[in-house]
Amino acid sequence: MSLEITSEARSHGGRQLVVKHASSATGTDMTFSIFLPPQAGNGGNLPVLWYLSGLTCTHANVTEKGEYRAACAEHGIVFVAPDTSPRGEGVPNAEDYDFGQGAGFYVDATQEPWSQHFRMWTYVTEELPALVAAEFPVDIDRQGITGHSMGGHGALTVSLRNPGRFRSTSAFAPIVAPSQVPWGHKALAGYLGPDEQAWRKHDAVALIEDGARLDELLVDIGTADPFLEKELRPELLERACDAAGIRLALNLREGYDHSYYFISTFMADHIRWHAERL
């Protein structure tokens, strides 16, 4: 598969790349960013941390605002951040920010007109990992995953449905139970149709209730997050983890909101936590 490096910059002794490629999953060009820490030049493969972004975001939001490179360079971790949806000519869109382009919700759509291109589940679980493993020095036996908001939802569901693939899973302000909140109702109904039973495999709380298990989770949420009570509902995840015996470290960060000011503040803590497990 041919890759085009569209930008490259030196940072913390490593290389920050932005990469474009033709995706068979989405039928479009897709873009992702990848940080190769200085240890990547020493030979051998390194652990990789996948970061899934939230509503309205591209790869660029965390790349420019996430402040992850110093910690990744310290711990020798490759950091990969894909886009949140297919884009481009012929790709359907919606006027609302929380549906359509920029809001793929990490599912494979089954409903028209979305089903042709909006296949983000296949992209982030199959195509992109295979591409990165083939082209960059990553150790597929040492993978972690994290994400923010819609991407936190994606990180949790991808990890829960792929037992043993990820040694570590964390999230920033995740949508933990999309079947029970407005953002999720809109996205899951629009992409997957009205059968709520089909939604359960893309709902972290439902997956845990249905028997999916992880050893542990790390979640950070700001107490001043405007979406906390209506869209994020961390108490539902806490209840499900308690019932399932999953160790959940849920940190409620006083005064922090939903933005990258919040994410960047605790990014190094998450990377350190992943590094201990990778």
Over the chain (278 residues), the average pLDDT of each successive run of 10 is 91 98 97 97 92 98 98 98 96 94 98 97 98 96 98 98 97 98 98 97 98 97 98 98 98 98 98 98
Angle made by CA atoms 251, 257, 262, in degrees to the nearest 5 = 70
C-alpha dihedral over 276, 265, 171, 259, to 10 degrees?
Answer: -170
d(CA 52, CA 55): 10
Residue 42 has a pLDDT of: 86
Residue 41 has a pLDDT of: 81
Residue 1 has a pLDDT of: 58
CB 111 within 8 A of CB 244: no
- The percent of residues in the chain predicted with pLDDT above 90, rounded, is 97
Question: Nearest 5°: phi and psi at 209?
Answer: -60, -30
- On whether the pTM is more than 0.85, the answer is yes
**DSSP strand E in 59-161: where?**
78-82, 138-147
Angle made by CA atoms 30, 165, 180, in degrees to the nearest 5 = 75
Residue 2 has a pLDDT of: 82
Question: Nearest 5°: phi and psi at 153?
Answer: -55, -45
User: Catalytic residue numbers?
Assistant: 149, 225, 258
Q: Which one, of 20, 25, 202, 187, lies nearest residue 116 by Cα?
A: 25
